[in-house]
Amino acid sequence: MEYEIVIGLEIHSELDTKTKIFCGCSTAFGAEENTQTCPVCLGLPGVLPVLNKKVVEYAVKAGIATNCNIARFSKMDRKNYFYPDLPKAYQISQFDLPICENGSVEIDVDGEKKTIGITRIHIEEDAGKLNHDSTGTYADNNRCGVPLIEIVTEPDMRSAKEARAFAEKIKSILEYTEVSDCKMQEGSLRFDVNLSVRKFGDPLGTRTEMKNLNSFRALERAVEYEAKRQIFEIEQGNKIIQQTRKWDDDKTESYSLRSKEEAHDYRYFPDPDLVPVVLTEEYISNIERHLPKLPWVRKAEYMEKWNLSDYDAEILVASKEIATFFEKTVDVCNDAKSAANWLMGDISATMNEKGISIEEAGFSPEDLGELVNLINKNTISTSIGKQVLKEMFDSGKKPSVIVQEKNLAQMSDAGELKGMVLEVMKANPQSVEDLRSGKEKAIGFLVGQIMRQTKGKANPQMVNELIKECMNEI
């Protein structure tokens, strides 16, 4: 490829606090419009914002987990601009002294590892939400003042895949550290893309910015589209104009936003209502000590303790919910490989099909552990296990109950099976002849007939042995 794509990301994540950043209003999602506001977050005159302790703690957690330097001294600033979703006409953010700086995160794309630099992480408040219809624009200020961290990267990514891998890594870090619930459909994690293209070896080109992408798919597609667009413009002999563009994921195209602030002149200044945040070594190391296990730590454990492959371990730790579910399942069945296979295979396929998460699957890790145990003890076969799993998704019943109710336990009664085996062999003399003359394949056909007659409940190993035994009796 002749052109190199240069990508930097700004990731906004809503912190998982109970209250807003500067007031005690609830941050719960989905409340009626404007029922979670107060004079502070509405920006009424004469109020005094006070910083939420948890916001500092969560930002420091995120910073430690992304290898940042944690600032011993940071402060809040006002970013001034006019927009109807911003009642104060300024956003409280951090300008020159952010709480975290100079971090890095390792990503893995198609087996290649790469380190992406993190310029800074700062804390700030979210704006309100604007609802539009034909009659006008309506501001709901429930989201005003919900705490955010903004993670700003170096322009270190070179493809849509790398951008996606980085965004996914950040999501898993924030989930593992319990800094954010990262519910993307609720806007808890949003991506802004800065992108430019250049011929290899050239200095950086002019970049454009695409704001508020709220899914990995949108992020990936927006990067691909914008890179193509810029290359096309350059090939046509046109200049790239520095601008903010809006991504339309339904039309899979972006368009220029002309309306918003002409110049990025935010006239930042220190917020006189808020005092500096000064952190001690003790405070920081205490948070570091209590940081939950990060995905790569768990991954290494899975590979070492349970001999899982790099690939399997990576998939399992990608989501904290899955990893935790997996660990609890192994506690019950003590068979990591089977637990991993069920989770990455049938369970994840069904979850995708139904569009649900593991919490919504309707069964517990204990249930899955029990299913693995039933198979390992030869009570049921793997293929019956798949039937049982489907029933677990549908009814939420325990696997042992399903096996009993539906009479799915494997037939291991030799006497009962032997009668059937003899019958099938008598009905298929040709296969018996083939087998006698050394065609081993014929046994598979006979076993298949018996499995069909028993609806998969016969113990196939036992059937195999019985057929050999009956050869002499026929």
Partner 1 sequence: MKLTKEDVIYVADLARLEIDENEVDKYVEQLGKILEYEDQLNQIDTTDVLPTAHVLPVKNVLREDVPVPSLDREKALMNAPSQDKGCFKVPKVIE
Site track for partner 1 across 207-246, x = CB under 8 A: ---------------------------------------x
Nearer to Zn ion, 19 or 410 (CB): 19
CB proximity list for 145: less than 8 A, separation 6 or greater: 20, 21, 22, 23, 25, 40, 41, 125, 126
Size of the site for partner 1 (CB under 8 A): 50
Nearer to partner 1, 265 or 473 (CB): 265
Tokens, residue 181 = 């619930």
Residue carrying the six token digits 């081993």: 440
> Per CB under 5 A, does 70 bind Zn ion?
no
> Per CB under 8 A, does 177 bind partner 1?
no
The set of long-range contacts for 358-364, using a CB threshold of 8 Å and a minimum separation of 24, is: 358/319, 358/321, 358/322, 358/325, 359/321, 361/392, 361/393, 362/392, 362/393, 362/394, 362/395, 362/396, 363/392, 363/393, 363/396, 364/328
Interface residue with Zn ion among 25, 60, 170, 446 (CB under 5 A) is: 25
Choose the one of partner 1, Zn ion, none that binds residue 17, judging by a C-beta under 5 to 8 angstroms depending on kind: partner 1
Which one of 37-45, 168-176, 192-200, 342-350 is the stretch in contact with partner 1 (CB under 8 A)? 37-45
> Per CB under 8 A, does 137 bind partner 1?
yes
Max Cα–Cα distance, the chain, nearest Å: 99
Which one of 124-132, 215-223, 438-446, 460-468 is the stretch in contact with partner 1 (CB under 8 A)? 124-132
Interface residue with partner 1 among 5, 9, 36, 466 (CB under 8 A) is: 36
Choose the one of partner 1, Zn ion, none that binds residue 115, judging by a C-beta under 5 to 8 angstroms depending on kind: none
> Per CB under 8 A, does 300 bind partner 1?
no
Q: Report the distance separating Cα 329 and Cα 368, nearest Å.
A: 6
Alpha helices in 236-309 (DSSP H): 281-289, 295-306
> Integer distance in angstroms from the first to the last C-alpha of the chain?
70
Tokens, residue 90 = 């300024």
What is the per-residue DSSP string for 173-209? HHHHTTS----GGGTSEEEEEEEEEEETTSPP---EE
Choose the one of partner 1, Zn ion, none that binds residue 42, judging by a C-beta under 5 to 8 angstroms depending on kind: partner 1
Nearer to partner 1, 81 or 445 (CB): 81
Write out the binding residues for partner 1, residues 4-33 only, by CB under 8 A: 17-19, 23-26, 32-33
Site track for partner 1 across 419-458, x = CB under 8 A: ----------------------------------------
> Per CB under 5 A, does 21 bind Zn ion?
no
Choose the one of partner 1, Zn ion, none that binds residue 467, judging by a C-beta under 5 to 8 angstroms depending on kind: none
Residue carrying the six token digits 């371990």: 313
Write out the binding residues for partner 1, residues 250-289 only, by CB under 8 A: 257, 259, 265, 267, 270, 272, 274-278
Residue carrying the six token digits 């730590």: 297
Write out the binding residues for partner 1, residues 60-89 only, by CB under 8 A: 73, 75, 80, 82, 84
* Angle in degrees, CA 73, 76, 81, rounded to 5: 150
Label residues 383-412 b or e (16+ Cβ within 10 Å = b): ebbbbbbebbbeeebbbbebbeeeebbbbe
Alpha helices in 318-412 (DSSP H): 320-333, 336-342, 348-354, 365-376, 382-395, 399-405
Size of the site for Zn ion (CB under 5 A): 5
Residues that bind partner 1 (CB under 8 A): 17-19, 23-26, 32-39, 42, 50-54, 56, 73, 75, 80, 82, 84, 97, 130-132, 135-141, 246, 257, 259, 265, 267, 270, 272, 274-278
Residues that bind Zn ion (CB under 5 A): 23, 25, 38, 40-41
